[in-house]
Chain A
Amino acid sequence: GAVVSQHPSWVICKSGTSVKIECRSLDFQATTMFWYRQFPKQSLMLMATSNEGSKATYEQGVEKDKFLINHASLTLSTLTVTSAHPEDSSFYICSVSRTGTKNIQYFGAGTRLSVL
């Protein structure tokens, strides 16, 4: 069964609005979750590392004020795309890593964001 649940799977929004994406670890507590973004015909790019109870660590070039990450519990991390614009349209994917599994990542099914 699924280890990671991501919601919603698909969202369409108007330009200027904010969109929240949830990532839940179903089988274990995850102190660290990861957020990736994938544009069409491209590979996954890590956006940020979400740490439970502390601020997220963003990769170079990713605007932390635009992509707000909250990791309020050991099973839930959220990514909010604030003031979304058409160029933010992408496939957003979260993942969790289980302690002791030699860095094996379990990925969510992804969220397709389309900004009109």
Chain B
Amino acid sequence: DAKTTQPPSMDCAEGRAANLPCNHSTISGNEYVYWYRQIHSQGPQYIIHGLKNNETNEMASLIITEDRKSSTLILPHATLRDTAVYYCIVRAAGGTSYGKLTFGQGTILTVHP
């Protein structure tokens, strides 16, 4: 799996957009970008995923650069409950290792009043 690089921590004011970057310069053509988050002492929660097109759902938007070497997760209006560790994971959608996720250290996002 391609390795990802994320800043260890970020701050965001409540109500503002939180933009979390992720570098994945060795991503392969069949690998998707997944974002999960983990609120303290809970299991991770799926947020969004994409291959090459930008994606949006009720939780967030995912912007993937044209060369696919980096992406940005956008929480449009951050709330205090969005404080969590955010993981960017690059993974093939199928294949012999289907389902296995490799978690890095992620980005600790702190949303403050």
The answer to whether A49 touches B106 (Cβ under 8 A) is no
- Nearest chain A CB to B22 CB, angstrom units: 15
- Closest residue of chain A to B94 (Cβ to Cβ) is A103
The answer to whether B46 touches A34 (Cβ under 8 A) is no
The answer to whether B101 touches A105 (Cβ under 8 A) is yes
CB-CB < 8 A to A78: which residues of B?
A: none
Q: At the interface, is chain B mostly helix, strand, loop or mixed?
A: loop
Quick check: is A26 within 8 A (CB to CB) of the other chain? no
- Closest residue of chain A to B48 (Cβ to Cβ) is A104
- Closest residue of chain B to A32 (Cβ to Cβ) is B99
Quick check: is B43 within 8 A (CB to CB) of the other chain? yes
Interface size on A, residues (CB 8 A): 24
The answer to whether B45 touches A103 (Cβ under 8 A) is no
The answer to whether A49 touches B100 (Cβ under 8 A) is yes
The answer to whether B42 touches A43 (Cβ under 8 A) is no
B residues 14-68 with Cβ under 8 Å of A?
32, 34, 36, 38, 41-46, 49
The answer to whether B43 touches A109 (Cβ under 8 A) is yes
- Nearest chain B CB to A20 CB, angstrom units: 18
- Closest residue of chain A to B42 (Cβ to Cβ) is A109
| Residues in B lying within 8 Å of A, measured CB to CB | 32, 34, 36, 38, 41-46, 49, 87, 91-94, 98-106
The 4 closest A-B pairs by CB, nearest first: A107-B43, A97-B99, A44-B103, A43-B103
| Residues in A lying within 8 Å of B, measured CB to CB | 4, 6, 32, 34, 36, 43-46, 49, 91, 93, 95, 97, 102-110, 112
